[in-house]
Structure 1
Amino acid sequence: MADNTRRLAGTAYLNVDGVSYMVAGDFAYSPSKVSRESLVGQDGVHGYSEKPVSGHISGTLRDSGSMKLSTLNAMTNVTVTLELANGKLVVGRNMWTTDTQEAKTGDGTLEVKWEGMAVTEE
């Protein structure tokens, strides 16, 4: 058996409420809780502002014959799990899809993004 302890990237597996989806391209995620912006005046840096942000998981799926874009678009309150090649598990709970989903017939792909209150790395 090959030793995969040094594998850092290359594969990913996606499940939404226990249903597997084909991952066609890169996925991204953000467990960030806040966004900060520097507050700069004419006399120097004054500090920063801080606003809450939603966590997200997004990427490119393959449009399988059995998948319906309307199902993705209707997703609210779902659990999204993304298993990465390095062994990390990214979990988003109570998530919803944002944007509209559009399939590309040339390569059978589509972009999807889920947002929610929290994304964690386990």
Structure 2
Amino acid sequence: MSRIAGTTYFKIDGDQLSLTGGIEVPLNTLIRDDVIGLDGSIDTKETFKAPYIKGTFKVPKDFPVDKVTTAMSMTATAELANGMVYVLREAWLSGETPFNAEEGTADLEFHGKTGFFQ
């Protein structure tokens, strides 16, 4: 039996941040959708999605808020429990980033110019 889920390590420019769960990386960034004609013909269209890493992070007092919220060219690495490593290059924080003070966490989504599995 092999491990496919569990402990995950996340780093931005070498600084490790702690996740509480919910890490997600894309398996693909080329999205194919159906285009179905009224005559029953089926074709496809392709769109691209930015590579990303998103998760729920613990936010201790020394959390690098300034770096995470202002940097535009970070390298983010997610070492997943199943042994896969996803690397996001030229990354930035995407969208709103509310801090949940009751839980001490923030849901963060990083997008980048390139993303790949090592």
TM-score, normalised with respect to structure 1: 0.88
Q: Partners of 1:33 and 1:100 in 2: how far apart?
A: 22
- Residue deviations 1:48-85, cap 9 Å, x none? 11122211110000011111434322131110001111
Alignment of structure 1 residues 1-122 onto 2, 5 Å? 6-122=2-118
Q: How far 1:31 sits from its partner (Å)? A: 4.3
Which is richer in strand?
Answer: 1
Q: Partners of 2:45 and 2:67 in 1: how far apart?
A: 38
Distance 1:70 1:101, change over 3 A: farther
Structure 1 unmatched ranges of 5 or more: none
Residue type matched to 1:114 in 2? Answer: F
Paired residue total: 118
Q: How far 1:25 sits from its partner (Å)? A: 1.4
* Greater mean alpha carbon deviation, residues 48-57 or residues 62-71: 62-71
Secondary structure class of the residue paired with 1:71 = helix
Structure 2 unmatched ranges of 5 or more: none
Distance 1:54 1:70, change over 3 A: same
The share of aligned pairs that are identical, in percent, is 25
Indicate conservation of the 8 Å contact 2:68/2:92, yes or no. no
Superposed CA RMSD: 1.5
TM-score, normalised with respect to structure 2: 0.91
Q: Partners of 1:88 and 1:32 in 2: how far apart?
A: 15
